[in-house]
Amino acid sequence: MKSKFSFIFACVLAGLALSMWGLAGWASPADTPSSVKGTVKFAGAAPKPSRIDMSQDPLCAKLHSTPATTEDVVVGGDGGLANVVIYVSDGLTSHNFQPPPQPAVLEQKGCQYNPHVLALQANQKLNVVNADDTTHNIHPTPSNNREWNMTQPHGMPLEQSFAREEIAVPVKCNIHPWMKGYIAVFKHPYFAVTDKSGSFELKDLPPGAYTITAWQEKLGAQTQKVTVSAGEAKTLDFAFKQ
Amino acid sequence: MRWKTALTGSAALVLLLFCGDTHAQESHVGKLNGNEKRGKALYGRYCIFCHGRYGDGRGESAPYLDPKPRDFTKAVFKCRSTPSGSLPLDSDLYDTISRGVHDSGMPSWKPLLRQERVDLIAYIKTFSSAFQEEKPGAPVEIPPEPPSSAESIRRGAQVFESMNCWSCHGKDGRGHGPSAAALTDSKGYPITPFDFTSGSRFKCGETDRDMFRDLITGLDGTPMPSFASAMTTDQRWDVVHYLRSLSSHGTHAQLAPISQ
């Protein structure tokens, strides 16, 4: 009897020791997160954006002292390409990711989408905000998710989500035909959207070999392969041309 | 030993029943239960020419039709009693099959037996896995309609203005709004906003209650959005009264205010 108890005690001790080792393992170099950062440039002369005629809705037109312009290719001062979605498209060993608790926010402002390209995780809450005085309808036209289409007057709260990965869901407002945007939905958290500097960073990557894809709504997609070891920060640059 | 055999036997039976259950798609409308197999035979006889062998809306006749036949593989349906983005109820599909879709190639299938229409629904639901994976949302509630009045019509006209209905349907409700020319359905085909002065029948039912419901559900797959949270119940009835007033078939044609 006594020996049975001591055996159980030893088991519990061993278990504790193992879990301590496991916890310590989190901080050990073997599991230190890695990252991939870089820049997306537009090669050549930046295309001139077209003017948007918002005169059909005076509530939109009056919000712009200078005419609003199209956002399908937005190039920054130093050639950085904005609104490019950078993400891990292959190589992840884990496939079970919980959506973050904080919602992603898509704003309709000046009768345009802000941001023009939004990325979020599957089943992450999406708060749609109408900051304009006019009424919008927000209408995603997905191919791998449920299609919905909601009218949203100024100030009306609207919460939605997308269940499945899709890069990217086109979003439009039928009331204002010039309003176009994209929502990229991922099943993992390793994605970023570039701003006008073209820079991006994929943080907290587990060490491994990955395929990284850069997607732009008009210029298409490019992929590069990268291998990161523990704690390593790799640099990866992309260049798009028309 | 005997109880063990009995247990194994019953377990196998339960498993068999369960598997059988997941394979066959069902449909239920009222007291009628649809059968997928019978539905398939009917589909091959009546529906396949437009909706296609694979239910993708690409049947032999499809190139000649406008609007295009419904693509069942997408499981997106215009006429529903459920919220935007939700699957339809079986009874919604039953209503569409029975009623037909006005101003399209889809006729009324009332000549088929009720049981046959319910069987068809069971088969149509096999074209998309959505019917296995998701449940339709709760059907919208339609409260009793208050009587139409000059005041209600005037309020409806204001809502029509503030909700930007006119950007597609036009300030005069004829369907020539400034955004009308740019409209497409979710397959990319041009689509025309409804002309409320025509007195023509609506696609998803002709009654005021149908119009009220359409304002809540929207017509999925088209540019017509849901006004579920955007309008109050009273506002929805006001809009219904206003839209009725635009047609000479409406009860208050003489009161039609044309907003500019």
Domain match, B128 and B157 both: no
Beta bridge partners of A41: A80, A239
CA angle B57, B225, A114 (to 5 degrees): 110
B162 and B72 assigned to the same domain: no
Same domain, B123 and B159: no
| Cβ contact, residue pair B227, A151, below 8 Å | yes
Its domain, for residue B250, covers 150-255
Residue B76 lies in a domain: yes
* Domains in chain A with CATH codes: 32-240 (2.60.40.420)
For residues B184 and B217, membership in a common domain is answered with: yes
B110/B161 same-domain check: no
User: B7 in a domain, yes or no?
Assistant: no
**pLDDT score of B259:** 46
Chain B interface includes A147 (CB < 8 A): yes
- Whether B140 maps to a domain, the answer reads no
The predicted pLDDT at position A9 comes to 56
Size of chain A, expressed as the number of residues it contains: 242
Q: Does residue B180 lie within any of the structural domains? A: yes
Please state the domain count of chain B: 2
Same domain, B94 and B122: yes
Assess contact for A167 and A190: CB atoms under 8 A.
Answer: no
Q: Per residue in A81-111, pLDDT tens?
A: 999 999 999 999 888 899 999 999 999 999 9
For helices B208-217 and B233-246, give the axis angle rounded to 10 degrees.
120
B74 occurs within a structural domain: yes
Cα separation, B231 vs B208, whole angstroms:
16
Q: Is A53 on the interface with B (CB under 8 A)?
A: no
> Are B128 and B173 in a shared domain?
no
Per-residue pLDDT of chain B (260 residues; tens, 9 = 90+): 566 666 665 655 555 455 444 568 899 999 999 999 999 999 999 999 999 999 999 999 999 999 999 999 999 999 999 999 999 999 999 999 999 999 899 999 999 999 999 999 999 999 999 999 999 999 999 999 999 999 999 999 999 999 999 999 999 999 999 999 999 998 899 999 999 999 888 999 999 999 999 999 999 999 999 999 999 999 999 999 999 999 876 554 444 444 44
User: Are B229 and A175 an interchain contact pair (Cβ–Cβ within 8 Å)?
Assistant: no
User: What is the pLDDT, as a whole number, of residue B117?
Assistant: 97
Enumerate residues 6+ apart whose C-beta is below 8 A from B80. Answer: B86, B87, B88, B89, B92, B136, B217, B220
In a domain, B144, yes or no: no
Q: Find the residue in A nearest to B187 (Cα).
A: A141
Regarding whether B162 and B235 lie in a shared domain, the answer is yes
Residues of A in contact with B182 (CB under 8 A): 177
For residue B171, the chain A residue with the least C-alpha distance is A56
Q: pTM (2 decimals)?
A: 0.84
The CATH number covering residue B32 comes to 1.10.760
Q: What parts of chain A have a pLDDT lower than 50?
A: 1, 22-29
Query: Nearest-5° angle of CA B33, CA B38, CA B43?
Result: 110
**Is the CA virtual torsion B243, B151, A174, A59 positive or negative?**
positive
Q: Which residue has the tokens 């005085």?
A: A133
What does the pLDDT look like over A11-45, one tens digit per residue?
555 555 555 554 444 444 456 789 999 999 999 89
**Of the residues B105, B133, B161, which one is the last residue of a structural domain?**
B133
Residue B220 counted as domain residue = yes
Asked if B116 and B157 sit in the same domain, the reply is no
CATH number for the domain harbouring residue B193: 1.10.760.10
Give which of A136, A137, A94, A99 is closest to A119, Cα–Cα. Answer: A99
Q: Are A57 and B164 an interchain contact pair (Cβ–Cβ within 8 Å)?
A: yes
B160 closest CA partner among B178, B147, B173:
B173
pLDDT in tens, B1-20: 566 666 665 655 555 455 44
